């Protein structure tokens, strides 16, 4: 190898290393910023388990009031009343007017049929949901029972938001990795 070739080879490696170092630093800053933002959101959404927003959906009437525009009103098993009794709230989108989500375990179901039984569907799709397995009304719970129930709800919510953060992180890492590889390939 000639002196010039050796110099060019070292220069290419240094450039790639510098680029990788720059991207790693930028990625590290982005990652820290991302997690700081996500942690703040997690705290706002989940960490105040006794705020009105976190407790009002325990009440049937509040859940029932979310069923504006629900496509199954009468002569069906999945009426707004039965959906609310099963713990579901109506969370429609422009393309899916029949999305319902359990306020407790956050399980979303769509594609409802008129003969679908909300309680059976809830139990079959989310058997670990503590709300659907309650043996008595929320109004009849002791303070201790309510606190234990709320603790279980928090576990569902924290798990969901942490899984979302992991997915977003993995997507960002994959994107950054692709950018680093592309830049390194362009340098060679």
**Cβ–Cβ < 8 Å for 103, 60:** no
Environment class of 80 (CB within 10 Å of its CB; exposed 0-12, middle 13-18, buried 19+): buried
Model pLDDT for residues 54-111, shown as the tens digit of each residue: 689 999 999 999 999 999 988 899 999 999 999 999 999 999 999 999 999 999 999 9
In CATH, the number for domain 54-163 is 1.10.1170.10
Model pLDDT for residues 137-147, shown as the tens digit of each residue: 888 999 999 99
CA distances from 113 to 3, 62, 92, 128, 148 (A): 76, 24, 15, 23, 34
pTM score above 0.85: no
Is a pLDDT exceeding 80 seen at residue 129?
Answer: yes
Q: How far apart are CA 57 and CA 101, in angstroms?
A: 11
pLDDT-derived band at 115, boundaries 50, 70, 90 = very high
Pair of tokens at residue 149: 């129930």
């Amino acid at each position: 190898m000639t002196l010039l070739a050796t110099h060019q080879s070292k220069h290419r490696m240094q450039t790639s290393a510098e680029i990788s170092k720059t991207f790693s630093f930028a990625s590290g800053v982005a990652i820290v910023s991302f997690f700081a933002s996500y942690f703040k959101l997690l705290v706002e959404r989940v960490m105040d388990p006794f705020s009105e927003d976190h407790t009002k959906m325990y009440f049937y009437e509040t859940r029932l009031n979310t069923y504006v525009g629900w496509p199954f009103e009468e002569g069906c098993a999945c009426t707004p009343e039965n959906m609310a009794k099963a713990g579901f709230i109506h969370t429609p989108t422009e393309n899916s007017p029949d999305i319902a989500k359990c306020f407790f375990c956050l399980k979303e179901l769509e594609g409802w049929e008129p003969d679908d039984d909300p309680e059976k569907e809830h139990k079959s799709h989310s058997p670990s949901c503590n709300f659907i397995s309650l043996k008595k009304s929320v109004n009849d719970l002791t303070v201790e029972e309510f606190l234990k129930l709320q603790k279980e709800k928090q576990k569902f919510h924290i798990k969901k938001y942490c899984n979302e953060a992991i997915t977003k992180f993995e997507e960002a890492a994959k994107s950054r990795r692709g950018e680093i590889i592309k830049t390194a390939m362009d340098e060679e």
